[in-house]
Chains A and B, each alone.
Chain A
Amino acid sequence: DVKVTQSSRYLVKRTGEKVFLECVQDMDHENMFWYRQDPGLGLRLIYFSYDVKMKEKGDIPEGYSVSREKKERFSLILESASTNQTSMYLCASRGGLSYNEQFFGPGTRLTVL
């Protein structure tokens, strides 16, 4: 089975801190994604990557950056956390073309105080 793991299930940070959210997949997938999930807004794409060291902005990239140094790992970085970044963050990976399934991690619930 494909497994996508995220470094933390729950995280509490203070405003202005630099925050790293890590995601690792074990199926050699080319494509990886970061979403945030908020009640009533569904999932919104923050960034995605279709290859090592490649990254593309999604719909809401402001305040975030990403890093993909190895194929299996995709990191989301909040350079200076703010309270409006309190959310559930979901990582996903996908092999091949867009009609293939995206596999999701369990999510990280981030609270910024």
Chain B
Amino acid sequence: AQSVTQLDSQVPVFEEAPVELRCNYSSSVSVYLFWYVQYPNQGLQLLLKYLSGSTLVESINGFEAEFNKSQTSFHLRKPSVHISDTAEYFCAVSRGGSQGNLIFGKGTKLSVKP
């Protein structure tokens, strides 16, 4: 069975510092990998995803994630965070096919302090 582990439930950082949110998954088959973000009092929205090809994927707001097959990881990074990045971040994995559903990690709350 597939599972997703987010190793940190909370990550406090200061503004302009780098951050890494860790995600490991377990699966015996090829998967698709996602990061979703949930800002306060909102639903989730897609941040970035890995399907195939280049192992480094980027979002429009400066986040990037690297797919590492040997370590079964998909860590999310940003070199310099802003106050507005304060949110909860969810890593998710999906099987392929038309009915493959997302399996979410438990989330990491990123708190950016001035």
Contacts and interface: CB of A to CB of B under 8 A. Distances in A.
B28 interface: no
Interface stretch (B14-22, B53-61, B68-76, B103-111): B103-111
Given A50-B99, A97-B96, A99-B96, A107 B32 contact: no
Contacts of A74: none
Contacts of A43: 44, 90, 102, 104
Contacts of A101: 46, 49
Interface residues of B, number: 26
A90 B44 contact: yes
Contacts of A44: 104
Nearest to A43: B104
A76 interface: no
A4 B97 CA distance: 23
Contacts, number: 64
B101 A42 contact: no
A93 to B, nearest CB: 11
Given A40-B106, A98-B100, 14 more contacts: A4-B43, A31-B99, A42-B105, A43-B102, A48-B101, A56-B99, A97-B98, A98-B96, A98-B99, A99-B49, A101-B46, A102-B46, A103-B45, A104-B45
6 contacts: A43-B104, A44-B104, A50-B98, A96-B98, A98-B97, A99-B96
